[in-house]
Structure 1
Amino acid sequence: MELFKSFSLAILVGFISGGLFILERKLSFLIVIYEKSTEAHERSMTEAEKLTAAYNQHVTRSNQQNHECPPGWKKHMKRCYFFSRQTGSWAEAGSYCRNFNAKLAEPKDEAEFVFIRNTIKSRIRVNNEYYLGGTDICYEGEWIWASTMEPITNAHWSPGEPNNYFLKENCMTVLLNGLWNDISCETSLPFVCEIA
């Protein structure tokens, strides 16, 4: 009888071990399938994002040829401006603008400066400031327009600015009063895009 119990126990352990091995293989297979489906989903999302960006650029180019602005953008002279409600870092804001074949706004002349200032003053207050396309991230104190690397010559800084507070303010914003401020590029703020 003892021999029969030992033999039955050995068969049972073998059966359980074999079953665990099969379960382990099935689990490994399911993990591989899950990973592959996740990768495919990520690829398809990336492709969808690329298609959306391409469509947006096509619409933007068509509108530019007809001197029209995309829906939700404001026209000023031959340029279109978008005043965001969403927020992001300076880099994220620039990336958002590029999705529309645009850039962070660079008010290089007095007319652009006045238009942006007046539009911001008339908007519902989303935040106290909006990102523009100016930076001194390359060389401290040498402010340039990011899209062209041209020095900023028409400065409209708020009194005492730029001050590089805590040695980490390298990105330009426009305050609600229309004057400029320097701020940390990681601060989450709304922004102004420009299509030339």
Structure 2
Amino acid sequence: MDYCVSECVRDPKCSSVLYNSPSQLCKLLRCLLIPEYIIPDTSENGWDYHASENACSDGWFRFEDHCYFNNFTGSKWNDAQSVCNQHGAYLVEINSKYENLWLDRELTNGFYCGVSMWHLFTHERNRWIGATDIVTEGQFLWSFSTTKLDFHNWRNGEPNNRRKEEYCAVIMKDGQWNDLKCFCNQGFICEKNLF
């Protein structure tokens, strides 16, 4: 077990560990398991769960030095931003193709610690992100840092401000972005610094 935990401490992407004593099998996880998702009889089958001290909070996922929370609840963009703020976070600001790829693979495709969760949340696959052009049409800024987008991954033909009503951005299931009406109900991704 000590070896397994020390491997997790050395790996910046590791947040928790599942260790099986009888088989001495170790699984490094990139997130913390929420208690209700831990199979109740894991310890009876020889599995022990341990969380890293340098990990994100329960339900939050770590990528580099940031923690992310995938909220499946449909919310308007402003409401989503408020929920993130209540948790000391902000709507995600995607600053690189690597971060976008990670979000697409780990969050928007409905995986939770490598387990598909879309059978539980099939109602919506778009997620609000922090990009908006509500101040000046066509000039998207990150709502938290108020900086211009250094990176973007707009779907072909987007952003298009369809019917002159689309000012808020989502990341879609394929990792591409789209602008939508801010009052539509979408899931959302919160981000905060790990340290």
Pick the TM interval, shorter chain: 0.5 to 0.7
- Out of 109, 112, 120, the position equivalent to 1:121 is 109
Q: Secondary structure at the match of 2:109?
A: helix
TM-score norm. by structure 1 comes to 0.64
Q: Secondary structure at the match of 1:151?
A: coil
Structure 1 residue ranges, 4+ long, deviating more than 2 angstroms after superposition: none
Does residue 129 of structure 2 align to residue 142 of structure 1?
A: no
Unaligned runs of 5+ in 2: 1-52, 112-117
Does residue 72 of structure 2 align to residue 85 of structure 1?
A: yes
User: How far, CA to CA, are the matches of 2:187 and 2:110 in structure 1?
Assistant: 15
Asked if the contact 1:143/1:152 (under 8 Å) is kept, the reply is yes
Count how many residue pairs are aligned between Structure 1 and Structure 2.
131
User: How far, CA to CA, are the matches of 2:192 and 2:90 in structure 1?
Assistant: 7
- Deviation (angstroms), 1:187: 0.4
- Out of 75, 80, 83, the position equivalent to 2:62 is 75
User: What's 2:166 paired with?
Assistant: 169
Deviations 1:125-168 (A, max 9, x none): 44131100000000000001111111112110011100101101
| Structure label with greater radius of gyration | 1
**Aligned AA for 1:176?**
K
Unaligned runs of 5+ in 1: 1-65
More strand by share: 2
Query: For structure 1, which segment, 116-125 or 160-169, has the greater mean C-alpha deviation from structure 2 after superposition?
Result: 116-125
Pairs within 5 Å for 1:98-113:
98-113=85-100
Asked if the contact 2:159/2:179 (under 8 Å) is kept, the reply is yes
Does residue 171 of structure 2 align to residue 184 of structure 1?
A: no
Q: Secondary structure at the match of 1:193?
A: strand
**Aligned AA for 2:63?**
H
User: How far, CA to CA, are the matches of 2:85 and 2:175 in structure 1?
Assistant: 24
Q: Secondary structure at the match of 1:86?
A: strand
More helix by share: 1
Root-mean-square deviation over aligned CA pairs: 1.2
Asked if the contact 2:125/2:187 (under 8 Å) is kept, the reply is no
User: How far, CA to CA, are the matches of 2:56 and 2:84 in structure 1?
Assistant: 14
User: How far, CA to CA, are the matches of 2:54 and 2:176 in structure 1?
Assistant: 29
Q: Secondary structure at the match of 1:95?
A: helix
- Deviation (angstroms), 1:122: 4.2
Does residue 118 of structure 2 align to residue 131 of structure 1?
A: no
**Aligned AA for 1:121?**
N
User: How far, CA to CA, are the matches of 1:186 and 1:133 in structure 2?
Assistant: 14
TM-score norm. by structure 2 comes to 0.64
